[in-house]
Amino acid sequence: MLNIAYVGFGKSTNRYHIPYVRQRPDKFHISRVVAPHIDKRPEERAALEKTGTIFSTDIQDIITHKTIDLVIVVTPAPTHFTVARQLLLAGKNILVDKPLVATAEEASKLVDLANQKGLFFMPFQNRRFDSDFLTLKHVLNAGYVGRPVELELHMDHYRPNDAKLTGSPMETTWFDHGAHLVDQIVSLFGAPQTVAYDLRSTRDLSATLSDQFEVNLFYQDAFKATVQSSETTVNHYPKWILHGTKGSYIKHNIDQQEYDLKTGIMPGDPGFGQDAPQDYGKVTYYNQNNDRLEKFIPSIQGDYGSVYDTIFETLVNEQPKLVSDDQLLTTMRILEAGVTGTNPHIVNFDH
Identify the band that residue 164 occupies on the pLDDT scale cut at 50, 70 and 90. confident
Select from 3, 177, 155 the least CA-distant residue to 77: 177
Task: Assess contact for 42 and 20: CB atoms under 8 A.
Answer: no
Q: Which long-range contacts (CB under 8 A, 24 or more apart) does 341-347 make?
A: 343/197, 343/198, 343/199, 343/200, 343/210, 344/196, 344/197, 344/198, 344/199, 345/196, 345/197, 346/194, 346/195, 346/196, 346/197, 347/194, 347/195, 347/197
d(CA 214, CA 228): 4
> How many Cβ atoms sit within 10 Å of the Cβ of residue 289?
6
Residue (of 189, 175, 207, 222) closest to 337 by Cα position:
175
pLDDT tens-digit map of 196-215: 999 999 999 999 999 999 99
Which phi and psi (to 5°) does residue 252 adopt?
Answer: -85, -50
85 has pLDDT over 70: yes
Interhelix angle 104-117/325-338, rounded to 10 degrees, is: 160
Q: State the average pLDDT for the chain.
A: 96
**Above 90 in pLDDT, residue 341?**
no
Q: Identify the pLDDT of residue 219.
A: 98
Return the pLDDT at 52.
Answer: 96
Q: Average pLDDT for residues 165-178, to the nearest whole number?
A: 92
Q: Which of 282, 286, 297 is nearest to 249 (CA)?
A: 282
Residue 233 confidence class, pLDDT cut points 50, 70, 90: very high
Q: State residue 351's pLDDT score.
A: 62
d(CA 290, CA 155): 34
| Distance, CA of 178 to CA of 77 (rounded, Å) | 14
Q: Answer whether residue 277 shows pLDDT above 90.
A: yes
Dihedral over Cα of 146, 149, 155, 158: its sign: negative
Question: 127-306+333-348 is classed in which CATH architecture?
Answer: 2-Layer Sandwich (3.30)
- The H or E element containing residue 332 is helix 325-338
Instruction: Give the other-Cβ count within 10 Å of 284's Cβ.
Output: 15
- DSSP, res 22: T
pLDDT, residue 167, reads 87
Compute the average pLDDT of residues 38-52: 94
Residue 111 has pLDDT above 70, yes or no: yes
Distance of CA 15 to the CA centre of its chain: 14
CATH ID of 2-124, from 3.60.60.10, 3.40.50.720, 3.90.320.10, 3.20.20.70:
3.40.50.720
The span from the CA of 159 to the CA of 162, in Å, is 6
**Would you kindly state where each structural domain of the chain is located, as residue ranges?**
2-124, 127-306+333-348
The pTM of the full predicted model, rounded to 2 decimals, is 0.96
Mean pLDDT of 156-184: 93
Whether the pLDDT of residue 165 is over 90: the answer is no
What phi and psi values does residue 33 have, to the nearest 5 degrees?
Answer: -135, 130
- Round to whole Å and give the CA distance between 165 and 203: 10
Angle at 24 between CA 20 and CA 28, to 5 degrees: 100
- Per-residue pLDDT averaged across 330-350, rounded? 95
